Amino acid sequence: MFDAIRVVEKAPSQIKNLVVGVFAADTSADENARPAFDPATAKVIAAAGGADNAAHAIARPEFEASMGSVIDTFSADGETRIVILGLGKATGLTADTLRFGGGVVGRRLATAKATSVTIELLPAIKVANSAANGAAGNVAGKAGKGAKADASTSISAAVAGSAFGEGLGLIGWVCDEFKGSVTKKKGADGKEKNSRTKLEVFSKDAGFAKGVARGLGLAEAANLCRTLSQTPPNIATTGYMAEQAKKLAKKTGLKFSIFEGEALEKERFTGLINVGKASENKPCLVRLEYRPKDAKKDAKPLVLVGKTMTYDTGGLSLKINNGMVGMKRDKDGGCAVLGAMHAIATVIQPKRPVVALLSIAENSISDEAYRPDDVITYRNGVTVEVTNTDAEGRLVLADALCWACEKENPSAIIDLATLTGGVVVALGSTYCGMFCEDDALRAKVEAASKASGERVWRLPMHQEYRDLMKSPVADIQNSNANRKAHPIQGAAFLSYFVDEKIPWCHLDIAGVHVADSNKGPFVDGPTGWGTRLLAELVDA
């Protein structure tokens, strides 16, 4: 929707677009109450010459200032567009509200062909902080003597700016490189016409402005993930994905290495070898490393693992009907990890090392294809009976998990994968399925989930589920035919390839990696889910 978005430090000589916030009216005392600007916001609007018009705008019966609602008006001289963002109830303001609002405002500014915007949301945010802390104080008072109000209900200028910047940046995503002459128009000079504008964002509050810049950086990383997800499988082959990782490393200073061909055999990456051997696009395992200059030599890295199936036909257990449509997105776990490494190297820049492992393969069909009934042996000695070649993602992830435990000396491992249709049945598109038995790591992931707005829901991992994966032929099978606890089966399988002493979290993103509706900061298509969560986790 935008050609580019950036934060500027210098205030525009003439405010062309002004964004302010307003809360829904408190109707508990007066059911006819209407939204009203707080004094500080009203002062900002008056300085822009739009006091009367803005007052009339929020008095319209169709505008209730519900979360994400928006209405436009203009200054008296018609020079300044005033975008009024509804923020819902003052006691309910969250970073999610501002992230969604950033997307809504971004849509409006894109429609208006805006080239600059001044954001003045801090007055409203201060009102919300006061209201929320007051409500928390009341709760504490009712709890009895010694109870304290929860200061965490406050939203800082930096956090608010980051969330709003994410919304702006996410809605700014465009991937039209696969459009042809029917869609793309050319000017008289024969060159392609670009109707998208470059947007400059200004806020007089330095903390908010810095937050917006951070949010735009996180959105840029997520948008990289989305573009890779959108790239079709005849272009995004296994080699292409490895090359994108190599380019990212060169651009951002990450270390890059790759295992392919004989190196896969040498390192006994049997999952990748077997799953990928039917395709002319050969499998590989890519390793990226972020290591700050002042990191201690023995510092343990956080290891991020991404399932990167460039296409999944199901193999000999062929998908039926339209089951293959959209399988270009079976690489989205790896895309999210690539996006996260972009954010880590350019925005977060932590003082700890981070390693990314991408298991890259294409699950195809030929006389070389692996079969149901095959038994394969992993580098950690675990033998697997293949019962379903369409449960291939867990087979390639197992290689990376073994390597991470044996070679990386990790502080923790987190893997992301579009692993099961069962998690979509269980949780829909609202939550990602999270499997994590380490209390400390799980708390960190949940905190990152709250910060990023990418929601997770813990699912169980009891020994009975691990027993469900046992095979009468080998140690374990890759899929139990009775389909019990389908999303848990995938996680239970993976647990056999992780050292029980190492904190590990498995995130099944099959239900959340694509948006099926056009609202807030997202359009129909890939969401880049996981990129921002991983970045927030590392930042914390």
- Provide the annotated active-site residues: 319, 394
End-to-end CA distance of the chain: 31
| Of 342, 165, 149, nearest in space to 244 by CA | 342
For 356, counting Cβ atoms within 10 Å of its Cβ (0-12 exposed, 13-18 middle, 19+ buried), the class is buried
Please report how the helices 531-539 and 332-343 are oriented relative to each other, as an axis angle in degrees rounded to 10: 40
CA distance 245 to 257: 9
The CA–CA distances, whole Å, from 345 to 298, 436, 440, 492 equal 20, 26, 25, 32
Q: Name residue 20's beta-bridge partners.
A: 84, 120
Question: Distance (Å, rounded) from C-alpha 17 to C-alpha 529?
Answer: 31
Q: How far apart are CA 113 and CA 230, in angstroms?
A: 26
Tell me the C-alpha distance between 481 and 461, whole Å.
Answer: 19
Q: In what helix (H) or strand (E) does residue 46 lie, and over which residues does it extend?
A: helix 39-47
Backbone angles phi, psi at 32, to 5 degrees: -100, 5
- C-alpha span between 339 and 355 (Å, rounded): 13
Question: 439, 391, 398, 438: which is closest to 415 by C-alpha?
Answer: 398
Reported as half-sphere exposure (CB side, CA atoms, 13 A), residue 15 has a value of: 26
Distance CA 40, CA 134 (A): 19
Using DSSP, state whether 151 is helix, strand or coil: helix
Query: What DSSP string describes 345-390?
Result: IIII--SS-EEEEEEEEEE--STT---TT-EEE-TTS-EEE-S-TT
